[in-house]
Structure 1
Amino acid sequence: MHGSEHALQTQLHDQWKNLDAAVRNNVKGPLLTAMRNAQQVISHPAAQAAAEVAAVELPFNEWPEFLPTLLDNIRGANYDEPIKVATLDCLGYCCERISFLGGEVDQASTDSMLSAIVDGIGSTRPNRMRHAAAGALKNSLLFAETNMEKQEERSAIMNSLMEATRCEDMNVRIVAYEGIVQVAILYYAKLQEYMTTIYQLTTTTIKEDNEEVAKSAIEFWTSLCEVEQDLIDEEEDCRQRGLQVERPCMRYVDAAMQHLAPYLFDTLTKQDEDPDNDDYNLQMAGQLCLSNVSQTVENNIVPVVMPFVNSKIQDGNWRNRDAAIMAFISILDGPSSDTIGPFVSQSVPVLLKMLDDENIIVRDSAAHCISRICLLHVQFIPPEIFPSLLEALTNKCKEGSAKVASQAATAIFNLASAFSDESGGEDQATNALSRYMQVLLQTLLQLVDRANADSDDSSNLRLAGMEAISELISVSAQDNLQLLSALLPEFITRFEQTSAMPVLNEDDKNAKEQIQGLLCAVIQNLYRKLDKATVLPMTDQVMMLLLGVLQTKNSICHEECFTAISSISDALEGDFVKYMDHFSPLLVAGLKNCSAYQVCIVAVGTVGDISRNIEGAIQPYCDGIMNALVEDLKDSSIHRSVKPPVLSCFGDIAMAIGGGAYTPYFDVSMMMLMQASSTEVPQDDEDLIEYLNLLRESILEAYVGIIQGLRDGNMLEKFEPFVPGIMSFLQKISEDPNRDSYVLSKAVGMLGDLAQTMGAKIKNEINKQFAAKLISDAMSSGDASLVEVAQWASQTLTALVAQP
């Protein structure tokens, strides 16, 4: 549950507590009575309601009738099974809610509740009751923290769960395994004495039980992998920081891997024979688990899996061939490139042949495997195979199976993405894709035009094809620019056709807007690649289409549309101003779109881009823009990620329009920046620490932009009263152990800018120990760009301080 939901729940509970005791009693008594109704339609909702009330009252030692009544329901011979089931549900819900809300119940009550639940899961109880008790115990595990610390009580809980995995009722076995999964997540340090039994239970279940229960048993190992990955990362972090490891990883997965792997290999042969069925099945569970094992044990997985892959990859049974491919996919992400690379090189020729396998499921897996190799290990594709690879992928884009064609398009996308990191980047005269670009683009355009491209097929051909086209455009070299210039009219035509699509229902609307979003992404990349002279004659048409999209309320593609317009402004620079009269109201609407905060963030970025491109010409539109930005900052309900880019945007606008024009906005923007500068977060919350660094980086960017704008307008005196507050902010940054390198760089740059622009007026303010510490920290960072900033700032400060 998110923090906002937690706050709402707490508020509702406070309102309940504020009701008169007599009013509350008039609710509580009937709830306990209703739970004793043998009809589930009455007892079950009553159990949920009673649990919610008890979660509020028990931590305050109120509602003394609650526990005795529930214990009597479970243990009394007078009550039917549905009543016992509802009561166990109530206990489980209650424990879960108390834990979530941070409440505490006296130990005697806790023991009574857990004892009743464990009693209900016993082998002598009816299966329906055992099922309810197993669910209640799973929900109670966080609540049982004190009990789990005591060996005898912990063993009682664990033994009841492990015994329940042998129950003849499938539903009981599934929930029992879900409980064991929760134990692995919550109480990893307590697992050691139970691991042998859990291993025996899970492997027997994977081998012999039905699919649903086997998936639950596999989930234990998948979850254990995730826990151990986190612990291994923590250990590495402690080693790097010279700290003692507080939570050691016991490496259970590494110890069990060799014995567990054959059971997982067997699940990989349990494919669904319907290639279009994407329901989560046993094969998927096994493959996910094997992937997690690979990421946990890394290089150690290779000698365990590769013998299976090599022995089955050309087997006469299609299930074994497919299992071998899926096993290989599982270990592509985990081992180091040096370890897995040689196997990747050997695999590509084999996989290319398997793209033409007689079985469609094998073809799909082979295409998926090639796609993953293009994503993770493209450097190990033998150069002599490259032409054959591209030919095979273009052929597979024409495959009758939408899934195979989609995998092929995704492989092309991943292959293109690998070129974005090549030295030279977009300025390359040519690259390895250049000679194939026309065929690839034509093939992908045919793919997105297929009749089933916009069907509900999960492979989503249109999405895969358009993303591949967009990425190919993005990485194309100079020798393909003529080809790209011919593409722009093609996509304008497609956009016009899409705009004319009828919308008769919500599905039509979503389909139309998804296509428009994909077209926006393509247009964005075309404008990034093509020069101004090429795009200028077509931009009126493009902007008309994009403005039409922005006029559609609640469209899902506004984010992509703003991003495309940013690229257009970058391409046109000052000439973009001709569109501002029509665009600015839609831009302001985007800035005010707080409910769709991602759209708001992108709109803020668009303001920054346009400010840099049209500079002072944005001034007539600044009232509406600045008002919207300030409203965003004042809105306490807005997503916190909006605030950093908004603050940074103040600096962009100030630089664009200069100090004189920025005067009407100066006081309010400085007040907002000062308020944001005082933000504090807990020292142990990594997410909030990351947010604070982002916020401070944006604040410093804004200050720098405002200083430069004021300097250009000869109005620096307006900034002087704020210098002491800014110095206090910089001192706070100098003392923060959680400060990241980006904030340090901006802080050091800020010192240099202040020294350079304010001069002798701030000589005493800046000649302080914290300033020297910031520069020293940057100098010793080992980051070349940071050192360069520090050297400049140091020289600037030294020259200022040396002045008489």
Structure 2
Amino acid sequence: MLCQELNNEQSQARIAAGLALKNAVAAREATRREEMSARWMNIDSTTRDQIKALVLITLGTQDIRAGIVTAQVVAAIAAIELPLGQWEGVIRDMLQNLSSTDNTNLRQCTLQAIGYVCETIDRDILTSQANSILTAVVQGARKDEPSEAVRLAAIGALYNSLEFIEDNFKREGERNYIMQVVCEATQSQDVQVQVSAFECLVRIMQVYYDMMPFYMQKALFGLTVQGMRSPHERVALQAVEFWSTVAEVEIDQENYRLEAIDNGEQPTHANYNFAKAALPETLPVILELMTKQDEDDDEDDWNLCMAAGTCLSVTAQSVGDACVAPVIQFVETNIRHTQWQYREASVMAFGSILEGPSQELLVPPVAQALPFLIEMMNDPVIKVKDSTAWTLGRVSQSLAECIKPDVHLQPLIEALVRGLDDSNRIVSNCCLSLMNLADQLEGEQGADSPTSHMSPFFNGIITALMRITERNSNESFARTSAYEAISVLVTHSARDTFPTISALSTSILDRLEQTIAVQNEIVGVDERNSHMELQSNLCSVLTNVIRRVGKDIAPIADRIMTVLLQLSTAASKSSTILEDAFLAIGALTTALDSEFARYLDSFAPFMFSALSNHEEHQLCSIAVGLIGDVCRSLGSASASYCDNFMTTLLQNLQSPVLHRNVKPNILSCFGDIALAIEGQFAGYLDVTMSVLAQACNIRAAPTDYDMIDYVNGIRE
């Protein structure tokens, strides 16, 4: 009935019918997809053949919207049947449509259907028809194709077929023609055709980089630089994406090359350094594009300015030192510009090149620029302050040696703390900078350091961050960033900050207790998600406090355990809060050592419940780790629990439902139990050795990399 409605030229509901038909045979989730596939194949073959014939006819409908929906239906049915050896003539029939009609709608929708099929079907299934598909697609993409809509559909189909036409692409004559057609399409008068052509070039660069030197020299350098200057933002975005892709591929190529050399092998991946060769042409355009901000730009919308900044960042990682001098010149020229767009672009450009070039080359300009960057945290324009805070985060992460504690640290921290009272986006970047400072300026003796460069500012920073965490909203993840910053500051704190950490632990427990008290009053989904996120953040801080102070947590251990047990009781079996509570309890187990024994009877039921919850494998894995923590802390006193531990762990090893990545952890846990109870482990020795022997016999296929990792984990 849906199919007939879709085919009915007079129907007002044919679009809805087409979408309903597609959704009846296709789904994103694997389980749902298998269910729908089985349901489709259970329809008798005669009915299925009638439906398939009808949808192929409907590709030529006068209503182009219905034709496009029909193309999706064709691909959805093909995705089910082709892997099963059914409907093998679908590609042949659609190619026949292209060669025997002047119906523009039919050609357009058929090409779209071919593209969708190429996108969804395993490449091996279609390889035998690659020549026919390629011929038809390239025919439709030529510049003398009268319909730009057909040309657009053909380029989209070419994009989706690029991987399985590898044999064709290896043949120089065919490759030349494909590249000619795509390059000509970048010059189309139709903007969407231009966009799709550049998208195609991006994908070609990803898949066939090794074959690109000739084309880069003859056409692609000029076309893409011209594309970046296009007045149409969507075209310029794809041209910028092309150079980002070049840089990313060349980073990978260089890593492969160095890895081969380290292994004493001959490198098989060449790095043609396209990004470096093109730098004199591309870099000025990229920097110019970075100045094209607008005060009204939504910070969450991807735009040309953001794309250019990202391109500069990956280009710096690819070309290294070659980009430093021209970018520094741009920064020096524009950092005090009267137009805020140039100030913002200069700061963003400076931060974007801090990864890739050598530190020796970066240290002098960074040291010179640092006072200016700190001063720019007072800029009247929010976007400038935002980029400055981000750049300071990059400096504190990669070039912390430029920060002289006696010169820069106080004004830097004061500027960052002031930034915490600014917009949410700036708050997040200030938090990142504070985290990096805490990490990089940790005391010389690590956890045993009596003090550190950060100690004089610790209390003030924590106080300011706690104010942020009191906000009701979490826009731009400002509240989450504040909690993360508190956790990192605690982790890297010196011993002279323990009084502040003690007060912090009390505040965190107060808040956790408040969240438990109001838990039953929450009704909306968004409100519940926000509540769970808050509890998760509080648990994370508490975990880091416990790990940092160690046995000094003992005076409030009873209160902590009470709160965590209440959280565990209130949480659902699939809640991430349960995972967070377990991690905090694991930290408490380690901190209290044998003193944790008094809580084990109360906590054990939660632990065994999690161990039996095979569908939630991450929670189960944490529970396995907790058994190890308990046994290490209690030593021989844990023996009375080991019968239940071993029985449950052995059952988990046999479970077909439990994710296999949990099982190596179970084998490690056997070792923790054995070390803890020593001779009392003899009763479990035979069954343990049997399990280990079985594990040693597991083999992985040479091409199954996930299985190889699993087997290596088992053996370790």
Of 550, 563, 566, the residue aligned with 1:548 is 566
Distance in 2 (CA, whole Å) between partners of 1:435 and 1:456 is: 29
For 1:122, the equivalent position in structure 2 comes to: 142
For 1:371, the equivalent position in structure 2 comes to: 393
Assess, with a 3 A threshold, how the Cα gap between structure 1 residues 20 and 404 changes in structure 2: closer, same or farther.
Answer: closer
Distance in 1 (CA, whole Å) between partners of 2:220 and 2:478 is: 43
Q: How far off its partner does 1:349 sit? A: 0.4
Within 5 A, what are the aligned runs for 1:110-509?
Answer: 110-123=130-143, 124-196=145-217, 197-274=219-296, 277-383=299-405, 384-399=407-422, 401-420=423-442, 423-449=444-470, 453-458=471-476, 460-501=477-518, 502-509=521-528
- Per-residue displacement from partner, 1:125-144 (whole Å, max 9, x unpaired)? 32222221111110011121
Q: How far off its partner does 1:40 sit? A: 4.4
Assess, with a 3 A threshold, how the Cα gap between structure 1 residues 673 and 661 changes in structure 2: closer, same or farther.
Answer: closer
Distance in 2 (CA, whole Å) between partners of 1:549 and 1:673 is: 37
Assess, with a 3 A threshold, how the Cα gap between structure 1 residues 116 and 355 changes in structure 2: closer, same or farther.
Answer: same
Distance in 2 (CA, whole Å) between partners of 1:456 and 1:398 is: 14
Assess, with a 3 A threshold, how the Cα gap between structure 1 residues 628 and 35 changes in structure 2: closer, same or farther.
Answer: farther
Distance in 1 (CA, whole Å) between partners of 2:34 and 2:525 is: 36
Assess, with a 3 A threshold, how the Cα gap between structure 1 residues 56 and 635 changes in structure 2: closer, same or farther.
Answer: same
For 2:5, the equivalent position in structure 1 comes to: none
Distance in 1 (CA, whole Å) between partners of 2:32 and 2:651 is: 24
Which letter does structure 2 place at the counterpart of 1:468? A
SS of residue matched to 1:316:
coil
Distance in 1 (CA, whole Å) between partners of 2:82 and 2:215 is: 33
Within 5 A, what are the aligned runs for 1:562-573?
Answer: 562-573=582-593
Which letter does structure 1 place at the counterpart of 2:162? L
Of 54, 58, 65, the residue aligned with 1:34 is 58
For 2:9, the equivalent position in structure 1 comes to: none
Distance in 2 (CA, whole Å) between partners of 1:175 and 1:650 is: 56
Assess, with a 3 A threshold, how the Cα gap between structure 1 residues 636 and 42 changes in structure 2: closer, same or farther.
Answer: farther
Which letter does structure 2 place at the counterpart of 1:517? S
- Per-residue displacement from partner, 1:461-509 (whole Å, max 9, x unpaired)? 2111111111111111122222322322222112112222331112122
Deviates more, 1:37-46 or 1:308-317: 37-46
Instruction: Say whether 1:585 aligns with 2:609.
Output: no
For 2:14, the equivalent position in structure 1 comes to: none
Distance in 2 (CA, whole Å) between partners of 1:110 and 1:633 is: 45
Which letter does structure 2 place at the counterpart of 1:145? E
CA contact (8 A) 1:228 1:249 kept: yes
Of 624, 627, 637, the residue aligned with 1:617 is 637
What TM-score, normalized to structure 1? 0.80
Distance in 2 (CA, whole Å) between partners of 1:549 and 1:394 is: 33
Deviates more, 1:155-164 or 1:352-361: 155-164
- Per-residue displacement from partner, 1:370-412 (whole Å, max 9, x unpaired)? 111111211221231112111221222223x222222212211
- Per-residue displacement from partner, 1:600-659 (whole Å, max 9, x unpaired)? 222222211111111233334334433432333223343332222121011112222334
Q: How far off its partner does 1:518 sit? A: 1.4
Instruction: Say whether 1:69 aligns with 2:62.
Output: no
| C-alpha RMSD over aligned residues | 2.7
Distance in 2 (CA, whole Å) between partners of 1:606 and 1:181 is: 47
Which letter does structure 2 place at the counterpart of 1:173? Q
Query: Percent identity over the alignment?
Result: 34
Which letter does structure 2 place at the counterpart of 1:489? T
SS of residue matched to 1:557:
helix
Assess, with a 3 A threshold, how the Cα gap between structure 1 residues 51 and 448 changes in structure 2: closer, same or farther.
Answer: closer
Which letter does structure 2 place at the counterpart of 1:574? S
CA contact (8 A) 2:127 2:164 kept: no
Assess, with a 3 A threshold, how the Cα gap between structure 1 residues 618 and 503 changes in structure 2: closer, same or farther.
Answer: farther
Instruction: Say whether 1:635 aligns with 2:655.
Output: yes
Q: How far off its partner does 1:456 sit? A: 4.6
Unaligned runs of 5+ in 1: 698-804
Q: How far off its partner does 1:97 sit? A: 3.7
Distance in 2 (CA, whole Å) between partners of 1:519 and 1:297 is: 42
Q: How far off its partner does 1:13 sit? A: 7.7
- Per-residue displacement from partner, 1:237-275 (whole Å, max 9, x unpaired)? 122222112121111111111210011001111123137
Which letter does structure 2 place at the counterpart of 1:391? E
- Per-residue displacement from partner, 1:337-359 (whole Å, max 9, x unpaired)? 22212222112101001000121
For 1:87, the equivalent position in structure 2 comes to: 110
Which letter does structure 2 place at the counterpart of 1:240? D
Which letter does structure 1 place at the counterpart of 2:279? M
Which letter does structure 2 place at the counterpart of 1:147? N
For 2:543, the equivalent position in structure 1 comes to: 524
CA contact (8 A) 1:268 1:283 kept: yes
- Per-residue displacement from partner, 1:409-451 (whole Å, max 9, x unpaired)? 221111112245x5411101111111111111111112222xx
For 1:96, the equivalent position in structure 2 comes to: 119
Distance in 2 (CA, whole Å) between partners of 1:24 and 1:141 is: 30
Within 5 A, what are the aligned runs for 1:679-694?
Answer: 679-683=698-702, 688-694=707-713
Distance in 2 (CA, whole Å) between partners of 1:648 and 1:83 is: 61
SS of residue matched to 1:530:
helix
- Per-residue displacement from partner, 1:779-803 (whole Å, max 9, x unpaired)? xxxxxxxxxxxxxxxxxxxxxxxxx
Which letter does structure 1 place at the counterpart of 2:318? T
CA contact (8 A) 1:337 1:377 kept: yes
Instruction: Say whether 1:655 aligns with 2:678.
Output: no
Assess, with a 3 A threshold, how the Cα gap between structure 1 residues 667 and 36 changes in structure 2: closer, same or farther.
Answer: farther
CA contact (8 A) 1:559 1:602 kept: yes
CA contact (8 A) 1:55 1:95 kept: no
For 1:645, the equivalent position in structure 2 comes to: 665
CA contact (8 A) 1:426 1:478 kept: yes
Distance in 2 (CA, whole Å) between partners of 1:457 and 1:90 is: 41
Which letter does structure 2 place at the counterpart of 1:593? N
SS of residue matched to 2:164:
coil
Assess, with a 3 A threshold, how the Cα gap between structure 1 residues 145 and 661 changes in structure 2: closer, same or farther.
Answer: closer
CA contact (8 A) 1:302 1:331 kept: yes
Which letter does structure 1 place at the counterpart of 2:241? E
CA contact (8 A) 2:59 2:105 kept: no
Deviates more, 1:631-640 or 1:240-249: 631-640
CA contact (8 A) 1:59 1:104 kept: no
Deviates more, 1:142-151 or 1:652-661: 652-661
SS of residue matched to 2:125:
coil
Q: How far off its partner does 1:686 sit? A: 5.8
CA contact (8 A) 1:96 1:143 kept: no
CA contact (8 A) 2:468 2:479 kept: yes
For 2:8, the equivalent position in structure 1 comes to: none
For 1:43, the equivalent position in structure 2 comes to: 67
Which letter does structure 2 place at the counterpart of 1:603? A
Within 5 A, what are the aligned runs for 1:675-754?
Answer: 675-683=694-702, 688-697=707-716
Which letter does structure 2 place at the counterpart of 1:673? L
